[in-house]
Amino acid sequence: MAGVIEPTLQEAEIRRSSERPTSDLTAYDLYLRALSDWGSLEKRRILRALDLLGQAIERDPQYGPALALAAHCHQRLELRGWTEDPEAARHTSVDLARQALRVGPDDPNVLALVAFVLGYFGEDIDVAIGLIDHGLALNPSFAAGWHWSGVLRIFAGQPGLAIQHFETFLRLSPRDRVAVYLSSIGEAHFFSRRFDEAAANLLGSLERAPSFPVTYRVLAACYAHMGRLDEAREIIRRLRAITPAVMEPGTRYRNPELRELFLSGLRLAASEES
């Protein structure tokens, strides 16, 4: 899932950003420094990225990529349970995303991050998909955009289309068959009820990013539906070592049947835990 950002994706983001720097070179430098922390799995580095982005935005309030990246940082803090007020984090993230959209309506990278943030936090999924589709129309070779598009298709209840978009992402960026890809395509296979493929990809993701809670939850649900309850319990035990929040509402999944597929499996895995 999209909470894990790989170094190769960060490098691609830096290359794209260098093509559209703000006229304020200090703001641009702050943004580039934030990028090196943005993809981290450590809370302190995400907070440092937010501090740098805040300085950049203060210097140039119209800096769309910095606004979009700040929105995504707040989303990541909320996702990991690293904020004392999740609802405030949601409002801040969505507000920054909307600001970014106003100043960068034709920037594919801005569109991708804004679409993901809005989709994740329960805004109109059709609007979010329209934004990412516009970004991909502007730049069909935008590999990371195809990844975000796949994630949004999962949210929209279209796992088959999500898999197609993840495969396009991989064709455009073949070095990126790593945690971000494996977790996302594993999630799409789960919602397509291809549990064997889902489990294999989710396990591969955990080997590379062992501290991402969403992957554990989807894998636990997957094992539960496969009848592999001992393994589901083990995944829940590993999840508890990372966060006390085992259950989640799953509201980002708009299709009620697919949301219940996820939640019923997760409930079974957690209830069977010894």
User: What digits encode the pLDDT tens for the residues 77-113?
Assistant: 998 888 999 999 999 999 999 999 999 999 999 999 9
Share of the chain above pLDDT 90, in %: 79
Average pLDDT over residues 11-38: 75
Q: How far is residue 8's CA from residue 170's CA, in Å, rounded to a whole number?
A: 12
Per-residue pLDDT band at 272 (split at 50, 70, 90)? low
Number of alpha helices (DSSP H) and beta strands (DSSP E) in the chain = 14, 0
Q: How far is residue 273's CA from residue 123's CA, in Å, rounded to a whole number?
A: 34
pLDDT at 14: 46
Residue 175 above 80 pLDDT? no
Q: How far is residue 104's CA from residue 111's CA, in Å, rounded to a whole number?
A: 8
Per-residue pLDDT band at 185 (split at 50, 70, 90)? very high
pTM for the model stands at 0.90
- Flag the least confident range among 7-11, 21-25, 63-67, 192-196: 7-11
Outline where 104-178 has alpha helix (H). Answer: 108-120, 125-138, 143-155, 159-172
Residue 18 above 60 pLDDT? no
All structural domains of the chain: 1-125 (1.25.40.10), 178-274 (1.25.40.10)
Please give the full DSSP string across 41-58, using - where no structure is assigned. S-HHHHHHHHHHHHHHHH
User: What digits encode the pLDDT tens for the residues 30-41?
Assistant: 999 999 888 777
User: What digits encode the pLDDT tens for the residues 120-156?
Assistant: 999 999 999 999 999 999 999 999 999 999 999 999 9
pLDDT at 2: 44
Average pLDDT, the chain: 90
pLDDT at 97: 98
pLDDT at 5: 42
Residue 176 above 80 pLDDT? no
Q: How far is residue 215's CA from residue 212's CA, in Å, rounded to a whole number?
A: 6
Tokens, residue 103: 């100043």
pLDDT at 207: 92
